[in-house]
Structure 1
Amino acid sequence: MPLVRLDISHVRNLSSVRFEPSPQVNLIVGKNGSGKTSVLEAIHLLSFGRSFRSHKHKTYIQHDNEACLIFAQLAQADGRTTRVGLQRQRDGQIDVRIQGQRAQSVIELAERLPVQLINPDAFRLLEGSPSIRRQFIDWGAFHFDHEFISAWRGWQKALKQRNTLLRRGKISASLLSAFDQELIRLGEQVNLSRKAYVEKLTPQFHRVLSLLTDALKVDLHFFQGWDAQKTLSMAVEAGRERDIELGYTHTGPQRADLRVKTATGDALDTLSRGQQKLVVSALKIAQGQLLIDMGRPLVFLVDDLPAELDSQHRQKLCQLLESLNSQIFITSVEPDTTDFTWADSTDVRQFVMQQGELSLLSKGLQES
């Protein structure tokens, strides 16, 4: 559901921002520190309940304020709107509202407002720890398989209980095996959902990457976290003695990874910085395309678009995003770096951000 209206209060230097974005393309230009990225951060908060810039919530709550608030109206297919809101207190409490009613968790926001982020930190998808790539897979599995989140939560709980037991020490393998049935059952469900999702994602990724550049051949390989020739039950049983020695569970879905490779090795080691950004962008767009194919519109947040890409590849990226018929927010420091050729029928709205104030420069259909 695209954003029809967005209200942001006390997020970094945004004291009070209200605007009506285009359902298609929104260009936000402003100097560094003006607050343009904070707009994207607020949208991300409204979807994930967390920032993409910091894990510490106090850093994005405006100084001398006890809470930040983000409110939005989301368009529905039948023409009606859904009201959603999120308030984050300085003490860490979070309040999520949907149609004025308190929601049980942030997950309800994620279902209504799926968001894909492409920014300079997106390189972490390649160079970061496996946990970042697991989050990438799990985001897709969550939207692709409705049973995934309950299995994932149950498996996480079983894993924590097992590790707590292992840390106590002096536990027999036979006693530990009695706690493993639920861990294995739910872990297998998580693994099957992840594997099925990567299988769906891979051909879409290849297609998107070929549209961005015909010079790269990159493959995706899913590592489930243990020997592919063994079941999780076999792997847990074989590693039980070692787990007792280590004091934690060393094999299983918690070690899963998405390995991105070229013909000569890991993409991180063999590709230039610009090529890496194309690969990451292709991963994010392919993931979004799968959701769109399921009839689930989403919002793309593109922060600092010019970084690492030349004008030709920036144009290709924007044309590809435009073809998805999704709502897009793009930020840039310089106006000329967002001077793209959009289709005549595309509703492009240009905004300028100055010292926390957002102003509309132009509205309507973009003329090529």
Structure 2
Amino acid sequence: MALLNLQLKDFRNIRHGRLVPASGINVLAGPNGSGKTSILEAIHYLGVGRSFRTHLTGRVIQQGEPAFTLFARVQQSEGEGLPVGLSKTRSGDTRLKVAGRQAERLADLAHILPIQLIHPEGYNLLTGGPKLRRAYLDWGLFYSRPEFFAAWGRYRRLLKQRNALLRQLRPWRELGYWDPQLVAAGEALSAHRQDYADAIAPVIAAMAADFLPEFEFSFDFFRGWDRQTGLATVLEQGFERDASLGYTQAGPHKAEIRIKARGMPVQDLLSRGQLKLLVCAMRLAQGLYLKQQSGQDCIFLIDDFASELDQHKRGLLAARLKELQAQVFISAIDINQLGDMITRDNSKLFHVKQGEITETQECKQANE
């Protein structure tokens, strides 16, 4: 899985941009504000359907323009590649195209472009709320289990219906039709997550041992309710409080994966730099596991992260990415900080300045 080309129109400060990346390492070099991170953001938008920098669409569209447009060709097998496109207006209207045809769901694009993002604020995966770690599990399931997305969607719909009834202060008996369906959907969803958490935990542990050998990590999946009690019982026992709050307190929508070291939650023990390394290991582990299970490659986006790694850790990161044979896009102010990252033959260097993108020379030559 790799981008064969990428075109940007009216995306942040890039009025018209185009690049033909290498299938290996691609370095985007330039000063702050040049637009290099915007290229990563555009790739992320194509694969995820949203920005990792803002939730406000208007900030992504170039000033004075009504919309932005992104286009790419994605190499899935031999051939010219699959064309995909995304356009979004200031009002939030979105148009998606896959192979020249209108697509209805962002999931249609996401299936084509598995994206892993490593960036300076990525440690929030561990310090932020359970929603982020739940999303981490769901990302892996989305790509590794075709039936997961339907199960996830069914549970969300039923949960929304139950919460609506709770807000209407309906009596318990009126939930009798919905709760058995919610329980069945919730337990199926939780089983998927439990299986994935059990499978990915040793992969993360092995990867983390390279980056943080001084720690031994434990991983515990919390399904969102007490493991000794069935979901049906939990919902029945919690009905009065759910009704007073207007939402369902327990269930898969409260799930997460809890990570500890030396008996303590990692967010309470590790430094910010160590948390970033652990997140890096978690992202690499997901890419490795996906490749092992399906043969599908991730595209890795690394935003100004390598500059915070010492030379040894940069070498480890470069080695792991090389083993994955992944397509990688790295933003950097000073490419000398990325010496260990850009020694592969299959690499390109792009200089970005005031929204203009120029392919300058092979990364290997630039590093000599």
TM-score (norm 1): 0.96
CA distance in 2, matches of 1:363, 1:4: 17
- What is the Cα deviation at residue 216 of structure 1? 2.1
Give, as a single letter, the amino acid of the residue that structure 1 aligns with 2:75. Answer: A
Specify the SS of the correspondent of 1:207: helix
RMSD of Structure 2 on Structure 1 (CA): 1.6
- What is the Cα deviation at residue 317 of structure 1? 1.1
Alignment of 1:236-255 (within 5 A): 236-255=235-254
Instruction: State the match for 1:316 in structure 2.
Output: 316
Distance 1:178-1:94 versus aligned 2 partners, 3 A rule: same
Instruction: State the match for 2:200 in structure 1.
Output: 201
CA distance in 1, matches of 2:333, 2:141: 35
- What is the Cα deviation at residue 210 of structure 1? 1.6
Cα pair 2:307 2:337 within 8 Å, conserved: no
Instruction: State the match for 1:127 in structure 2.
Output: 127
Instruction: State the match for 1:81 in structure 2.
Output: 81
CA distance in 1, matches of 2:141, 2:299: 18
CA distance in 1, matches of 2:65, 2:53: 19
Identity of aligned residues (%): 37
Instruction: State the match for 1:167 in structure 2.
Output: 167
Distance 1:342-1:31 versus aligned 2 partners, 3 A rule: closer
Q: Which runs of 5+ in 1 are unaligned?
A: none
- What is the Cα deviation at residue 127 of structure 1? 0.9
CA distance in 2, matches of 1:311, 1:198: 31
Deviations 1:81-106 (A, max 9, x none): 10001011111110110111001211
Give, as a single letter, the amino acid of the residue that structure 2 aligns with 1:351. Answer: F
Give, as a single letter, the amino acid of the residue that structure 2 aligns with 1:115. Answer: I
Would you identify which runs of 4 or more consecutive aligned residues in structure 1 move more than 3 Å? 341-344, 364-368
Instruction: State the match for 1:302 in structure 2.
Output: 302
Instruction: State the match for 1:274 in structure 2.
Output: 273
Instruction: State the match for 1:349 in structure 2.
Output: 348
Deviations 1:288-340 (A, max 9, x none): 11111111112000000235322221221122112100100011111211122
- What is the Cα deviation at residue 128 of structure 1? 0.8
Cα pair 1:10 1:68 within 8 Å, conserved: yes
CA distance in 2, matches of 1:39, 1:356: 9
Instruction: State the match for 1:176 in structure 2.
Output: 175
Instruction: State the match for 2:332 in structure 1.
Output: 332
- What is the Cα deviation at residue 45 of structure 1? 0.4
Give, as a single letter, the amino acid of the residue that structure 1 aligns with 2:13. Answer: N
Give, as a single letter, the amino acid of the residue that structure 2 aligns with 1:265. Answer: M
Instruction: State the match for 1:138 in structure 2.
Output: 138
Give, as a single letter, the amino acid of the residue that structure 1 aligns with 2:142. Answer: F
Cα pair 2:342 2:364 within 8 Å, conserved: no
Deviations 1:183-202 (A, max 9, x none): 11111111111111111110
Instruction: State the match for 1:57 in structure 2.
Output: 57
Distance 1:307-1:241 versus aligned 2 partners, 3 A rule: farther
Q: How many residues align?
A: 366
- What is the Cα deviation at residue 342 of structure 1? 5.2
Deviations 1:170-227 (A, max 9, x none): x222222322121111111111111111111101101111222322212221111000
Cα pair 1:46 1:109 within 8 Å, conserved: yes
Specify the SS of the correspondent of 2:121: helix
Give, as a single letter, the amino acid of the residue that structure 1 aligns with 2:274. Answer: Q
Give, as a single letter, the amino acid of the residue that structure 2 aligns with 1:213. Answer: L
1:158 aligns with 2:158: yes
TM-score (norm 2): 0.96
Deviations 1:100-153 (A, max 9, x none): 100121101110111000001111101111111111111111111111111111
Give, as a single letter, the amino acid of the residue that structure 1 aligns with 2:271. Answer: S
Specify the SS of the correspondent of 2:215: coil
Give, as a single letter, the amino acid of the residue that structure 2 aligns with 1:315. Answer: G
Q: Which runs of 5+ in 2 are unaligned?
A: none
CA distance in 1, matches of 2:245, 2:68: 43
